[in-house]
Structure 1
């Protein structure tokens, strides 16, 4: 009878160990809350649902953009005055309507001010924007008490840009290098040969 009881207890102990009971083998995974399965840390971050939600380059809505002109690298001019004659923007060959209501006479020696050349609405989608800026034929310059006419009737400022850059930034700023662009040809005359960079 005693041997039978001992055998029964041994079988119960073996059954408990096989089911995980108090054996260390029952804790092979990460510890979770009591009664709940263990939760492992994901090996990759969850997808960011905000990506593309407000990206203008992926939007199907038209985007507003502004074209500006900024004088940079001034070698010492007190004034470099120019007027805008015409500006055009095409996207994939189609001309855009441009709001010129804020266009005014520009003094490009103002290093803190990028002059508004026009605002336009970019169609969506669009690939290539072609910009053409024509300045008025005659401007003016001043330097150290001297002054004269500035001949600006040369080639217009033209450049191509990915339309998505304009949509993303909302503007293109033409940085006109005054030191390299304004060339004196006499005591009172100078010509404008635009040397520039475009920033977005």
Structure 2
């Protein structure tokens, strides 16, 4: 019985060792590009940062969709990058929410960020939901400004944007865009 048990354990050890060896010899796939290489145009990032925190311990939101269009309304290629909740009370973090490509000849774009229906907040006295259904973030941007650093960072003013409605907060975006 001991020989059978030892033989079985030896076989399992060999199988596991060979699986581990195969994993080490195979090349790990590199990061997948957001857009095909043949897609022409300038590539930019869109980031979100909470500013002017009036004392929230946390203010969590999640992005559902980003949209970038030309002034004429033509949709541009976008990739949503953040599917996780973002704590906008972190003053050191400008969250990457998406990337987009602007073709040559486009001077100005319209950007829209739509949040999931609800987020959450916590302050010293209580906590509750943030109703983010009221209005998306919207702004227009000159492509020349985006090209300076390759990104736009939306500074969402928490003091002005989160309005009390009972225990809940409404997100009425007050923002500034930095390049």
Q: TM-score w.r.t. structure 1 length?
A: 0.65
Report the structure, 1 or 2, having the larger helix content: 2
CA–CA distance in 1 between the matches of 2:75 and 2:83?
19
Q: 1:85 to 1:96 in 2, by over 3 A?
A: same
* Cα pair 1:122 1:167 within 8 Å, conserved: no
Report SS of the residue matched to 1:126.
coil
Deviation, structure 1 residue 122: 1.7
- What residue in structure 1 maps to residue 91 of structure 2? 111
Matched, 1:190 2:169: yes
Report SS of the residue matched to 2:54.
coil
- Residue among 112, 122, 126 paired with 1:142: 122
Q: 1:102 to 1:154 in 2, by over 3 A?
A: closer
- What residue in structure 1 maps to residue 46 of structure 2? 67
* Cα pair 2:59 2:120 within 8 Å, conserved: yes
CA–CA distance in 2 between the matches of 1:161 and 1:183?
27
Count of residue pairs brought into register by the alignment:
139
Listed as ranges, the matches of 1:11-30 within 5 Å are none
Q: TM-score w.r.t. structure 2 length?
A: 0.73
Q: Which moved more, 1:95-104 or 1:66-75?
A: 95-104
* Cα pair 2:42 2:102 within 8 Å, conserved: yes
Deviation, structure 1 residue 151: 0.8
CA–CA distance in 2 between the matches of 1:157 and 1:102?
15
CA–CA distance in 2 between the matches of 1:107 and 1:153?
18
When the two chains are superposed, the root-mean-square deviation of aligned CA atoms in Å is: 1.5
* Cα pair 2:44 2:146 within 8 Å, conserved: yes
Which consecutive segments of 4 or more residues in structure 1 shift more than 6 A?
Answer: none
Deviation, structure 1 residue 169: 2.1
Matched, 1:87 2:63: no
Q: 1:167 to 1:103 in 2, by over 3 A?
A: farther
- What residue in structure 1 maps to residue 13 of structure 2? none
In our comparison, the structure showing a higher alpha carbon Rg is: 1
CA–CA distance in 2 between the matches of 1:75 and 1:85?
26
- Mark the runs of 5 or more structure 1 residues left unpaired by the alignment: 1-60
